[in-house]
Amino acid sequence: MMIFSVRIKRWLRFFILFILFTLLFYQVISFLSTFFESDDLNDKPQDGAIRVFAKNETSASSFVEEVKTRLQVFYWLGE
């Protein structure tokens, strides 16, 4: 009975410490994430911004050809 009680105490101590360190790690990560998080994600850019994607009207067949070409390059380069 004594050995059983000691084992339970060890496992209980292990689980309690595991939970406490997990919570501590979570708090540290969430605290550090505030330094790397940007608050102005949706603000308009300053200086001279350019449009990356042009809105173009393409037909379905040219779209399919473009997708085929992209897949061929993807499989050819392996990226």
pTM, entire model: 0.44
What is the per-residue pLDDT for 12? 94
36: its two tokens: 């790397």
The tens digit of pLDDT for each residue in 15-33 reads 999 999 999 999 999 999 8
Where do the structural domains in the chain lie, given as residue ranges?
Answer: 1-36
CA–chain centroid gap for 27, Å, is 18
Residue that is written with structure tokens 């209980």 in the block: 12
**pLDDT digits over 32-73, tens only?**
988 877 666 666 767 776 666 656 666 667 878 888 988 888
